[in-house]
């Protein structure tokens, strides 16, 4: 009962609604989850939850246009939310008429861009170039993103061997 009262409350923090939406989704109540996620995404900019849970939920519910709009909104509010660029690129097959290649190339050329930010941006650009059948360029960006990602992996075989 408390859960229902909280999820039906007219006011609350975006982080609280995000958590309630996630629990609703886990409980199988996808419609309530979606309503709560919409409250999160419609929160004032300074109060919005920082995660992409609502974007991923929209995608998993098949609401791809809604998820793309939400990604665009997150990117407009916080151009350093690099996971949103990759998620947006994965939502559909990009076309010559509708893609984000120029925006992604521009983001990758930002002065002082953190190397870790280059991973999702590079994968996003590679995916979009691949959709546009620009395979050589796509491969270059897939390779670059994977190279950076591998360099920052902290994998130790001995740890797995001790678990076995």
pLDDT digits (tens, 9 = 90+) for 60-77: 667 788 888 888 888 998
Per-residue pLDDT tens for 77-120?
Answer: 889 989 999 999 999 999 999 999 999 999 999 999 999 999 99
Q: Is the dihedral angle over the CA atoms 74, 80, 86, 89 positive or is it negative?
A: positive
Can you tell me the distance from the alpha carbon of 124 to that of 12, in angstroms, rounded to the nearest whole number?
Answer: 34
How many alpha carbons lie under 13 Å from residue 21 in its C-beta half-sphere? 26
Q: Which residue has the higher pLDDT, 138 or 45?
A: 138
For residue 120, the model assigns a pLDDT of 97
Can you tell me the distance from the alpha carbon of 40 to that of 126, in angstroms, rounded to the nearest whole number?
Answer: 30
For residue 33, the model assigns a pLDDT of 73
Mean local confidence (pLDDT), 18-24: 72
Can you tell me the distance from the alpha carbon of 39 to that of 11, in angstroms, rounded to the nearest whole number?
Answer: 10
């Amino acid at each position: 009962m408390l859960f229902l009262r909280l999820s039906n409350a007219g006011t609350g923090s975006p982080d609280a609604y995000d958590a309630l939406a996630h629990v609703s989704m886990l409980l199988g109540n996808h419609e309530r989850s979606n309503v709560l996620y919409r409250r999160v995404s419609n929160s004032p900019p300074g109060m919005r939850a920082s995660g992409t849970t609502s974007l991923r939920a929209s995608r998993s519910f098949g609401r791809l246009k809604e998820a793309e709009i939400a990604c665009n909104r997150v990117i407009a509010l916080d151009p350093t939310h690099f996971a949103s660029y990759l998620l947006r690129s994965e939502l559909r097959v990009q076309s010559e008429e509708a893609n984000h290649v120029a925006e992604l190339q521009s983001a990758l050329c930002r002065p002082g861009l953190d190397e870790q930010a280059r991973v999702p941006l590079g994968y996003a650009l590679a995916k979009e170039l691949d959709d546009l059948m620009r395979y050589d360029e796509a491969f270059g960006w897939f390779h670059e993103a994977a190279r950076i990602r591998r360099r920052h992996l902290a994998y130790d075989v001995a740890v797995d061997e001790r678990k076995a």
